Structure 1
Amino acid sequence: MPDLTIATVARALDGLDARAFATAHNIANLGSPGFLPVRVSFERSLQQALMMAEPSKVRAAPIDAARELPATVGGLRPDLELSLASDTASRFAVLTALADRQFQLHSLALKGVL
């Protein structure tokens, strides 16, 4: 995997990790009075950084979700939060499997098997 791809996967995993933390935080505080939910956005900045071949400059950034979420339980819909958590976990699994496969190939190449 070229360095650019490794850096991109690493930054995507960082963003997904931040999103998973924010989603867990939202779910845990669902019924808390005065709680303001958060969202994490990184896809657009990752895409722009890739166009410039600089994925190391990508940072996962929280965005103000209170303005964009419907007024339900604490400003959140529990079903959508759980769906987002599931989607994030699936994306994380795909990226870690990709990285694992590439590292296996590198290991085989270093051993002279490939």
Structure 2
Amino acid sequence: MDPVSAALITKSLDGLALRLDVTASNIANANSRNFRPSQVSFEDSLRTAANQGLDAIAAVKPRVEPMAAGRFGDEPRTDLELDTATATAGRYSALVEILGRELDISRTVIRGGQQ
């Protein structure tokens, strides 16, 4: 795997892990008085950094920001939070799967093609 791809996957995993933590907090505090749900954004910054090289990718930091008020007010929507958690877990799992396959390929190359 080339270094840029590895850096992008690593940074994506970091951002997705933070999103899972923030989403879990939103769900856990959904019934708390005056709780303001948050969200994590990093994809746009990472997309821009991908064309600028490893240093730009390393400089990307996921941002935790308050969610904009929705049509139903400021309260957390547990159904939407669960949807976010499911989508985030799926993306995280897919990236881990890619890393696992890449390690399998490297292992095969190191062993000279033998199992």
Partner of 1:27: 27
Partner of 1:48: 48
Q: Indicate the SS of the match to 2:32.
A: coil
Partner of 2:63: 61
Partner of 1:82: 82
For structure 2, the residue ranges without an aligned partner over 5 or more in a row are none
TM-score (norm 1): 0.91
CA distance in 1, matches of 2:29, 2:74: 8
CA distance in 2, matches of 1:73, 1:31: 14
Partner of 1:111: 111
CA distance in 2, matches of 1:73, 1:93: 32
**Aligned residue identity for 1:4:** V
Tell me how far 1:72 sits from its aligned partner: 4.4
* CA 26–73 in structure 1, closer or farther in 2 if over 3 Å, else same: farther
Q: Indicate the SS of the match to 1:98.
A: helix
Is 1:91 aligned with 2:94?
Answer: no
CA distance in 2, matches of 1:75, 1:41: 20
Checking the alignment, whether the CA contact within 8 Å between 1:22 and 1:38 is kept in structure 2 is yes
For structure 1, the residue ranges without an aligned partner over 5 or more in a row are none
Q: Indicate the SS of the match to 2:53.
A: coil
- Compute the RMSD of aligned alpha carbons: 1.6
Q: Indicate the SS of the match to 1:70.
A: coil
Number of residue pairs matched by the alignment: 112
CA distance in 2, matches of 1:105, 1:94: 17
User: Percentage identity across aligned positions?
Assistant: 32
Checking the alignment, whether the CA contact within 8 Å between 2:20 and 2:85 is kept in structure 1 is yes
